Amino acid sequence: VSPYLNYLESKFAGNISKSDLNFEKEIYLLSRYFKGEPISFDSLSLDFNMGTPFQRRVWKETRKIPFGQTSSYKELALKINHSGFRSVGQALGRNPFLLVVPCHRVLSSDGSLGGFSAGLPLKKYLLSLEQARQ
């Protein structure tokens, strides 16, 4: 956790108090997720302020995609009344909350994987984990 907190401090110039951090809820949800339980991360509050207004709209809409289901970049763009499908993909590429904002559930319109900032092998794994538990 400490290297990640150091990274956050340098990136966001904030003063994070390590003694005030408690990740019990997050660890519990992630452990259930990786056991294949269809869970929602909606109970976690996220600070989207590091994103642009457009990115925040994309990230918030992406959070609505349920476990085991997918959407396309085009469908996501239409839901936020935006015509730029590629810009939706770019916004997802800047998603700082992988899994919690489940950008791995967004595919190309033809059903191909598209991109994923953490790499396509992980995207495939997460999608297969969720599909296997449907």
User: Which pLDDT belongs to residue 23?
Assistant: 82
Strand partners, 71: 106
Domain boundaries, the chain: 2-132
Contact between 58 and 86 under an 8 Å Cβ cutoff? The reply is: no
User: Which pLDDT belongs to residue 13?
Assistant: 58
Q: What is the CA radius of gyration of the chain?
A: 15
User: Which pLDDT belongs to residue 9?
Assistant: 66
User: Which pLDDT belongs to residue 114?
Assistant: 92
User: Which pLDDT belongs to residue 110?
Assistant: 94
User: Which pLDDT belongs to residue 18?
Assistant: 58
Cα(91)–Cα(89) distance, rounded to whole angstroms? 5
Tell me which CATH code domain 2-132 carries: 1.10.10.10
Mean pLDDT by 10-residue block, N- to C-terminus, for the chain (134 residues)? 63 58 85 91 88 96 96 96 93 92 95 91 94 71
Contact between 72 and 106 under an 8 Å Cβ cutoff? The reply is: yes
Contact between 124 and 113 under an 8 Å Cβ cutoff? The reply is: yes
User: Which pLDDT belongs to residue 121?
Assistant: 94
Token pair of 43 as six digits: 């109970």
User: Which pLDDT belongs to residue 122?
Assistant: 93
Catalytic residues: 103
